Structure 1
Amino acid sequence: MHKAWKKPLHKRKVWQKISVMGRMVYYMQPLLSDLQGIWLEPLPFPTLLKLAFSCLLCFVILLPLLFPILVVLFYFGIFQYVAEHHSWLSFDQNWDLLGAMSNLWSFEVTNKKYQLYLHMCLDRYQTIIIGVSTTLDYMRMALFFIFS
């Protein structure tokens, strides 16, 4: 951050003319360069770790947008709890955050056939993801040995 403020872009008159989106793009450049750097990492670094790091970095990039939404949802849940327990106010199904969260928390697949199908689908997708990432790693290694 210290390097960014020493750049000539941060002269007061120029910085005030830049839009908010332009400022966000300016500050996201280091994170995106990290994302580019992780995918250009040399061979022994596996693709699954690159994918996990990319997801973590995207979460960090989206955190300034997610945090206000989570704060608003948290305070709406507090307001809904107080309003339902201490007054006559009740919320309909579209605005019932606490009911939706309790349904989500207690969700369970009771049918054994559906449980088996869910496990089979999850296992299949896990195998596909691992197979594709391993194939990418082996192809990179083969190309590295061919062209080096």
Structure 2
Amino acid sequence: MKRIVLAISCVCFLGVATTQAQSILDQAKKTAGSVQGSSFDVGGIASSILGKLTPALALTSVQQPKVQNLLTGFLKKKAAILPLQQSNPSAYTSKFGGLQKGIFSKLKTLLTLSQYTKFLGLKPKTNDAANVLSQLFY
């Protein structure tokens, strides 16, 4: 009788422990998903990049909205391919290279030669999350 009660107690304990562990895992996945989704705010990132580029490149009032539109379009397209960065890095690199080439060629026609040269000089040495310009280069 004692063995039966002990066996039932063990099964109940293991069932509860497994359920709690699964619940914690599910919460962690939800949190990771919401953090990843919210960390790429296209409008906010575009504004931050423009805030850095405007004084660094001495953008005119005519250039600013055009650069803002280019940045927003680029970042929306980048957001669409971001899942590939984890699941298929080579596909991400290939697609990102095309996006980057596109925005750089458009910036080249929008900016003066000296502004474009300064822009390329702003490239961070590494992909630094603290430097918003990394979004354009990495």
Task: Decide: shared fold, TM above 0.5.
Answer: no
Q: TM-score, normalised by structure 1?
A: 0.28
| Bigger RCO of structures 1 and 2 (CA < 8 A, at least 6 apart) | 1
